[in-house]
Chains A and B, each alone.
Chain A
Amino acid sequence: MPFDVSLENVWKQYHRGLTRGADPFWAIREVALEVPQGSSLGVIGRNGAGKSTLLKLLAGITAPTRGRIVIHGRVAALIEVGSGFHPELTGRENVYLSGAILGMRRREIAAKFDQIVDFAGVEPFIDTPVKWYSSGMYVRLGFAVAAHLSPDVLLVDEVLAVGDAEFQIRCLQRIQELRAAGTTMLFISHDLTAVERLCDAAILLDRGEIAARGEPSAVVAAYHRRLALWDPWTDEASVDSPRSGVGVVNVTLADPDRPGAVAFRTGHALVVTIRYAAARPIQGVEVELRYYSADGHTRLAAPRTGEDGIPLELHPPGGAIEFRCEALPFKAGGYAVGAVIRQITDGRVLAWWDGDTRLYVEGGPQTDAQLYVAHSWRLLPDGDGSATTDGSKLREGSRQQAGDAGRMVADQAEESAERLPPSSRRPG
């Protein structure tokens, strides 16, 4: 398998302060890396670990201090959405400008122009200066241009950190498409769920060095083991003397019916797995799963293992708690997921996970209300009871008409039959 990107022992030095000789430090240290053609590599690590520097080196924005980087093919870097937009120019002019800056030819942009505008959904405003655009339109148009590049190597840095949930889902889907088309990708993100889904391999950067590499799930787990047991005072990840003895390693989401899904559906099942690491046996604890609004300010639901009064015992080296929601009550949008491990007796928090995991909801039954709570219903006319209509059967029919062809009728019948009455469900 040929490599599209290879780094031979690359170092990058920066200086703290303004003068050249002052206080040098290595932002990237001895990084050797090869990314096979058509594969995607996730880059994770704490802030300041060197992720963005690595991407800048690969994009050619800055040169390495030592070492060599070889790239085959056309590179496009999505480092900031809308880079190169000029506020005074119209949407149309900016599409050409930004496209040209990203390395597209005029003819290429002209050919894709309608697609770009359509993707961004700004058609009525295309001849308006972008300074009058809403920030959402601005970002959508910026991404639309970048998304229609056809590079051999795509570098993506935290693009998903901007825009609303719908936009973020679109970004993820477009990245999936490019990946399927054989684009080699380097993907930097704090959204570890996305890294696990979108990448074939991952590396963990720590203070400029590769601290772990391999399967995305293994690297993400390694990262979280470090984070969970990381002591902010000494800046050391120490497994020997974590203060509480337990840490949340990661929180992952899955739709049991659709493996690999990027977004989850209202009214459908969601499985949340909370992995933990333990340094010693810990007794009398409970694990709480938390759903937050996208901004993290509102706690929407918090099911916990201790609800039924059963204390848990956690053993080293670690394990996982799986929470299963049969019918997701959230309507389309973005949410954050967090977790807490606490002592039942005194409520002391032993470990927490602060919502780095994003939950995107899209599709499924629509609702204008705050929540979608699945109900079954029956029509009971007075008098003759034989005219009863069973609502769940009707709903299946209408859902199918709505074009939800991906699911089997049999599945749905089963699901409806198993659906619990609202009273016995976890608070949501």
Chain B
Amino acid sequence: MAQVSTRDRVTVYEPPSLARLAPLTALSRLSQSGDLLLTLSVHRVKVRYKQSRLGILWAVMQPVAMMLVFTLMFAFLRTAPSGDVPFPLFAYAALIPWTTFSTGLTNAATALTSHAGLLTKVWFPREILPLTYVAAALVDMSIASVVLAGLLVWYHVPLTMHALWIVPMVFVLTGFVIGLGLLLSAVHVRYRDVGLAMPVLVQAWLFATPVLYPLSSVKSKLPPALYAVYLLNPMAGVVDGFRRALVLRATPDLQALAVAGIVVALLVPIAYGYFKYAESTMADRV
């Protein structure tokens, strides 16, 4: 029954205060809940496609459909901005990180409010809820990557060593979705405007990110000061970097990627701190 060792664990509940934030304690508690994070993430992936005929295929539908729409659009306009690369490949390589970002963020932002029943009944580290949606988005990303592999074979574009750049970029991408997801989900508990603004936000963000156009054209057209602002969007460096590494067989834009890395490195601790501060009264507001 009750083990002697767990009695040593002391939990203190006090009024929420920024001064009393204990990020290390929070992280150690999160790591103790690793099993829950895993179980819930698996559950997230499983439940989404239960009782659907196409099942996991839906994970690739979104980027594939968007790629087809964009390909048709530029076919009509006869002005594909992809240079000598086939446009479907150009678009799809960028849509993989983009879709991960947009679905991960949209779901993570409403993760807390859609689990109000749990939040008011059981205690567990609340960040687990948005994190599971990020995990599910990453699973979708790996499935969508299979289609990219197919496209690369179809268009006879071989992978090079540059593809290894994907590893650090996936870290930056994941960190960004986690940071923004934590922040927005915590704010959403208090102000439901976040959920309502999400579709608009994501749509505008798509055009502010080099998904349909290369980063180089932004660099040549914007004044340097504005371009610096443009790069503050970490998705700029990540999306363009994915395309360069996978399809263009080139090194990502390191300046853009470095800015993205710094923004994410600043965002994640701030977002986590705010999340833990807001956590203690979330149950009163969901």
Measured CB to CB, the residues of A under 8 A from B are 4, 14, 37, 56-75, 77, 79-80, 83-84, 86, 88-89, 93, 96-97, 100-106, 150-152, 178, 181-183
Set A64, A80, A88, A96: member contacting B39, Cβ < 8 A? A96
17 extra A-B contacts, CB within 8 A, seeds A73-B7, A183-B1, A183-B2: A4-B7, A14-B284, A56-B283, A60-B13, A62-B283, A64-B13, A72-B7, A73-B6, A75-B123, A80-B121, A89-B43, A93-B43, A103-B36, A106-B38, A150-B1, A150-B2, A152-B7
Leading 9 A-B pairs by shortest Cβ distance: A63-B280, A181-B1, A60-B123, A69-B13, A83-B121, A100-B36, A73-B7, A100-B39, A74-B6
Complex contact B12–A69 (CB within 8 A): yes
Q: Determine how close the nearest CB of chain B comes to the CB of A42; give it in whole angstroms.
A: 20
Q: Determine how close the nearest CB of chain A comes to the CB of B53; give it in whole angstroms.
A: 15
CB-nearest residue of chain A to B2: A152
Chain B residues positioned under 8 Å from A77 (CB to CB)? 121-123
Known: A14-B284, A152-B7. A101 touches B1 (CB 8 A): no
Q: Determine how close the nearest CB of chain A comes to the CB of B20; give it in whole angstroms.
A: 10
CB-nearest residue of chain B to A105: B35
The answer, yes or no, to whether B16 is at the interface (CB within 8 Å) is: yes
Set B7, B10, B43, B281: member contacting A63, Cβ < 8 A? B281
Complex contact A64–B14 (CB within 8 A): yes
Tell me which residues from 1 to 33 in chain B have a Cβ below 8 Å from any Cβ of chain A.
Answer: 1-3, 6-16, 33
CA of A84 to CA of B118 in the docked complex: distance in angstroms? 6
Q: Determine how close the nearest CB of chain A comes to the CB of B199; give it in whole angstroms.
A: 24
The answer, yes or no, to whether B40 is at the interface (CB within 8 Å) is: yes
CA of A64 to CA of B280 in the docked complex: distance in angstroms? 9
Q: Determine how close the nearest CB of chain B comes to the CB of A12; give it in whole angstroms.
A: 9
In the complex, per-residue mask of B263-286: 1 if CB is within 8 Å of any chain A CB, else 0: 000000000000000001111100
Set B10, B33, B39, B121: member contacting A79, Cβ < 8 A? B121
Measured CB to CB, the residues of B under 8 A from A are 1-3, 6-16, 33, 35-36, 38-40, 43, 46-47, 50-51, 117-124, 280-284
CB-nearest residue of chain A to B282: A62
Complex contact B47–A63 (CB within 8 A): no
Chain B residues positioned under 8 Å from A104 (CB to CB)? 35
Q: Determine how close the nearest CB of chain A comes to the CB of B10; give it in whole angstroms.
A: 6
CA of A86 to CA of B50 in the docked complex: distance in angstroms? 12
Q: Determine how close the nearest CB of chain B comes to the CB of A139; give it in whole angstroms.
A: 14
Chain B residues positioned under 8 Å from A84 (CB to CB)? 118, 121-122
Set A63, A83, A181: member contacting B14, Cβ < 8 A? A63
Pick the most buried of B10, B36, B117: most chain A CB atoms within 10 A of its CB: B36
Name 19 interchain pairs, CB-CB below 8 A, sorted by A. A56-B120, A60-B13, A61-B119, A63-B14, A64-B15, A68-B12, A72-B9, A74-B2, A77-B123, A79-B122, A83-B118, A83-B121, A93-B46, A96-B39, A97-B40, A100-B36, A106-B38, A106-B39, A183-B2
Complex contact B280–A62 (CB within 8 A): yes
Complex contact B43–A83 (CB within 8 A): no
Chain B residues positioned under 8 Å from A75 (CB to CB)? 11, 123
Pick the most buried of B2, B51, B281: most chain A CB atoms within 10 A of its CB: B2
Chain B residues positioned under 8 Å from A181 (CB to CB)? 1-2
Complex contact B39–A63 (CB within 8 A): no
CA of A248 to CA of B72 in the docked complex: distance in angstroms? 81
Complex contact A152–B46 (CB within 8 A): no
Known: A62-B283, A64-B14, A182-B1. A74 touches B9 (CB 8 A): yes
Complex contact B43–A86 (CB within 8 A): yes
Known: A61-B283, A62-B284, A100-B39. A73 touches B12 (CB 8 A): no
Known: A88-B47, A97-B43, A151-B2. A61 touches B122 (CB 8 A): yes
Q: Determine how close the nearest CB of chain B comes to the CB of A87; give it in whole angstroms.
A: 9
CB-nearest residue of chain B to A154: B2
Chain B residues positioned under 8 Å from A102 (CB to CB)? 122
Chain A residues positioned under 8 Å from B281 (CB to CB)? 62-63
Known: A59-B123, A100-B40. A68 touches B7 (CB 8 A): no
Chain B residues positioned under 8 Å from A80 (CB to CB)? 121
Set B9, B51, B280: member contacting A73, Cβ < 8 A? B9
Q: Determine how close the nearest CB of chain B comes to the CB of A98; give it in whole angstroms.
A: 9
CB-nearest residue of chain A to B123: A60
CA of A74 to CA of B124 in the docked complex: distance in angstroms? 12
Complex contact B2–A66 (CB within 8 A): no
Set B11, B38, B43: member contacting A60, Cβ < 8 A? B11
CB-nearest residue of chain B to A96: B39
Set B8, B16, B122, B282: member contacting A101, Cβ < 8 A? B122
Chain B residues positioned under 8 Å from A86 (CB to CB)? 43, 47
Complex contact A68–B122 (CB within 8 A): no
Chain B residues positioned under 8 Å from A68 (CB to CB)? 12-14
Chain A residues positioned under 8 Å from B12 (CB to CB)? 68-71
CA of A84 to CA of B16 in the docked complex: distance in angstroms? 26
Chain A residues positioned under 8 Å from B14 (CB to CB)? 63-64, 67-69
Chain B residues positioned under 8 Å from A63 (CB to CB)? 13-16, 280-281
Known: A77-B123, A86-B43. A57 touches B13 (CB 8 A): yes
Q: Determine how close the nearest CB of chain B comes to the CB of A288; give it in whole angstroms.
A: 40
Q: Determine how close the nearest CB of chain A comes to the CB of B233; give it in whole angstroms.
A: 32
Chain B residues positioned under 8 Å from A178 (CB to CB)? 1
CB-nearest residue of chain A to B37: A100
CA of A4 to CA of B10 in the docked complex: distance in angstroms? 9
CB-nearest residue of chain A to B43: A97
Chain A residues positioned under 8 Å from B40 (CB to CB)? 97, 100-101
CB-nearest residue of chain B to A73: B7
CB-nearest residue of chain B to A5: B11
Q: Determine how close the nearest CB of chain A comes to the CB of B100; give it in whole angstroms.
A: 24
Chain A residues positioned under 8 Å from B38 (CB to CB)? 106
Complex contact A73–B119 (CB within 8 A): no
CA of A285 to CA of B33 in the docked complex: distance in angstroms? 62
Complex contact B120–A61 (CB within 8 A): yes
Chain A residues positioned under 8 Å from B122 (CB to CB)? 59, 61, 77, 79, 83-84, 101-102
Chain B residues positioned under 8 Å from A65 (CB to CB)? 15
Known: A63-B15, A69-B13. A89 touches B119 (CB 8 A): no
CA of A130 to CA of B16 in the docked complex: distance in angstroms? 38
Known: A64-B14, A70-B12, A86-B47. A97 touches B6 (CB 8 A): no
